[in-house]
Amino acid sequence: MSLRIRDIVVGEKDVTMLDLVSIIAHALSIRKEEVFAGYEREVCRKEASRIERLLKSRREGTPLAYILKEKEFFSEAFFVDERVLIPRPETETLVEGALKIIRARKGPLLLLDMGTGPGTIGLTIAKKTRHNVICVDISPDALCVAKKNALLLDVSDSASLVCSDLFSAIQKSTKFDLILANLPYIPSEEWNALMRDVRDFEPEIALNGGEGGVEIYRRFIDDLPHYLKRNGHVLCEIGGATQAVNIQKALGCSGFEAEIKLDLSGKERVIIGSWINLS
């Protein structure tokens, strides 16, 4: 008896319809709308085996983006796998804020994307503006993914990848017009309460921000004044009101005036810092 797409859809009880359709489309190399239009399409044994293998992975908790090896961000398709954090739509708030600042400036700018991961922020900005962006991450594995995405987005000429623990591999003589940071900000005390998809599959090094979720940001802010131009800005992605207060205070101690921006859900998501004095 032949197996049809309809049989797979009707028989699956543990995976959501949205994920199920995405997996079938991916396995058969068709568009998602073709899954619904082709309910009566017969699936060969090899195709059925691949679909079942991917569904089993999803049932076990593997995030859909890792199964599909792709996640859309700012209308661009990024390659992702278990080496990197999966891009979140909330991060688009940071990119939008950065683009607004960049478009108000004249001339070539030098930009830094700290904690680049798959290159979500820095490569998107390089694509949209064609300014030079240095993308930094502590993980060599993450930078391998970012390199692949730089090729996919055709920004290899304007994006440089640097393996570094924060600013440690960046010369202090290098001054940036804009520094973007999406550093780990999940409080360590909340780690065990995270959703299984996140806690068990995404890299902890890209998520765990220590006590209060601000330990890495404090280290970042301590060195920040050495690398930012006098008329420069820094944008930091954060995770809520308490972190907003703590990071805003830390930026203030380093001479910055900090503005808090909300994401579309109304949560404190980005802090934009600019100089108010320089010693």
Per-residue pLDDT, averaged over 107-119, amounts to: 96
Instruction: Report yes or no on 74 lying in a domain.
Output: no
Domain boundary, last residue among 60, 90, 105? 60
Q: In this prediction, what percent of the chain has a pLDDT beyond 70?
A: 98
Per-residue pLDDT, averaged over 7-23, amounts to: 95
Helix (H, G, I), strand (E, B) or coil at 31: coil
Same domain membership, residue 99 and residue 50: no
Per-residue pLDDT, averaged over 46-68, amounts to: 96
In this predicted structure, the answer to whether residue 30 has a pLDDT above a threshold of 90 is yes
Number of domains in the chain: 2
Helix (H, G, I), strand (E, B) or coil at 208: strand
Residue recorded with tokens 């780690």 = 191
d(CA 273, CA 266): 20
In this predicted structure, the answer to whether residue 52 has a pLDDT above a threshold of 90 is yes
Per-residue pLDDT, averaged over 88-92, amounts to: 96
* Residue 234: CATH number of its domain: 3.40.50.150
- The pLDDT assigned to 279 comes to 41
3-state secondary structure string, 33-80? HHHHHCCCCEECHHHHHHHHHHHHHHHCCCCHHHHHCCEEECCEEECC
- The pLDDT assigned to 269 comes to 97
- The pLDDT assigned to 64 comes to 97
In this predicted structure, the answer to whether residue 15 has a pLDDT above a threshold of 80 is yes
